[in-house]
């Protein structure tokens, strides 16, 4: 049997160990609290808080448009403690999402560190390739990029852009006229017509895939979205170059009411006044 003194010594030792453990835990907790507090204090330092935003590469959008969205994303704190405009923890994804959502003019972008008090937003904007208008006479139209994506409202003006007249429902911005492949095929066709000195200024979409292209010198060219335009172009070139084709004025411009190339094997045309 253990003597009473040994039992007392064992009990006392356990109490001392518990007290030492409590002290260590308290010290550890205090150190962690101090470190966390110090870290949060450092994150609040004005020397590492974003104060300036530098947009780069924007032409359609103003600097202030870009800065306003970025400033909105940088407001507030994480968990009510850590400022969002801290250069080490700022919400890059939120800035990018906000800009891409609000401005369809932006095709690609990157938010990056400039210095401890500022960031750079590098933008790649969509390039206007055509115009979309609800009607030919519309004074308000929209820019369309090379993939057929509608991205910005504009007033009609004297610009070397083809106007597409296509029925659309709802808000045009964010919609596409055609699939990217279909739009690029149409755009390529118009460029090849231009090489034949036929400039199309407007394209109207009709039922059944019929397209009517208004020529700059007057009259229209009619084709179909489903046909082989390569063959149609070859036949059209043959017609234009042929001495039998009399529908030209003294300057060599076509003077026709329409040229119908929907049938790859035959081309139909009607001269004005006939």
pTM reported for the whole predicted model: 0.78
pLDDT at 66 over 90: yes
pLDDT of residue 226: 87
Cβ burial, residue 232 (10 Å; 0-12/13-18/19+)? buried
pLDDT of residue 82: 81
pLDDT at 31 over 60: no
Hey, which residues does 131 pair with through a beta bridge? 143, 163
How far apart CA 153 and CA 143 sit, in angstroms, is 6
DSSP 37-65: HHHHHHHT-GGGB--EEEEES-SSS-HHH
pLDDT of residue 47: 82
Banded model confidence at residue 57, pLDDT cuts 50, 70, 90:
very high
Cβ burial, residue 189 (10 Å; 0-12/13-18/19+)? buried
pLDDT at 7 over 70: no
Which is nearest to 147 in space by CA: 133, 157, 167, 132? 132
pLDDT of residue 23: 52
Instruction: Express each pLDDT in 97-106 by its tens digit.
Output: 999 999 999 9
Longest dimension (CA), the chain: 132
């Amino acid at each position: 049997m253990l003597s009473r003194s040994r039992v007392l010594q064992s009990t006392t030792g356990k109490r001392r160990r518990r007290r030492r453990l409590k002290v260590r835990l308290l010290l550890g907790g205090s150190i962690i609290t101090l470190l966390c507090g110090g870290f949060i204090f450092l994150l609040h330092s004005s020397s590492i808080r974003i104060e300036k935003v530098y947009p780069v590469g924007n032409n359609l959008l103003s600097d202030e448009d870009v800065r306003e969205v970025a400033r909105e994303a940088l407001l507030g704190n994480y968990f009510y403690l850590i400022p969002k405009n801290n250069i080490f923890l700022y919400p890059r994804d939120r800035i990018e999402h906000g800009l891409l959502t609000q401005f369809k003019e932006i095709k690609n972008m990157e938010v990056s560190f400039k210095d401890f008090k500022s960031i750079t937003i590098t933008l790649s904007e969509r390039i206007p390739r055509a115009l979309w208008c609800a009607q030919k006479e519309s004074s308000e139209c929209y820019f369309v990029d090379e993939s057929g994506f509608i991205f910005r409202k504009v007033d009609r003006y004297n610009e070397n852009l083809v106007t597409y007249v296509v029925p659309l429902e709802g808000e045009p911005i964010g919609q596409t006229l055609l699939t990217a492949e279909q739009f690029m095929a149409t755009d390529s066709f118009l460029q090849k017509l231009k090489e034949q000195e036929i400039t199309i200024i407007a394209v109207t979409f009709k039922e059944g895939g019929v397209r009517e292209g208004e020529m700059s010198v007057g009259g229209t060219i009619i084709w179909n979205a489903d046909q082989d335009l390569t063959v149609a172009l070859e036949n059209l070139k043959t017609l234009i170059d042929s001495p039998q084709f009399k529908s030209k004025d003294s300057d060599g411009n076509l003077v026709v009411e329409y040229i119908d190339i929907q049938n790859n094997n035959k081309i139909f045309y009607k001269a004005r006044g006939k």
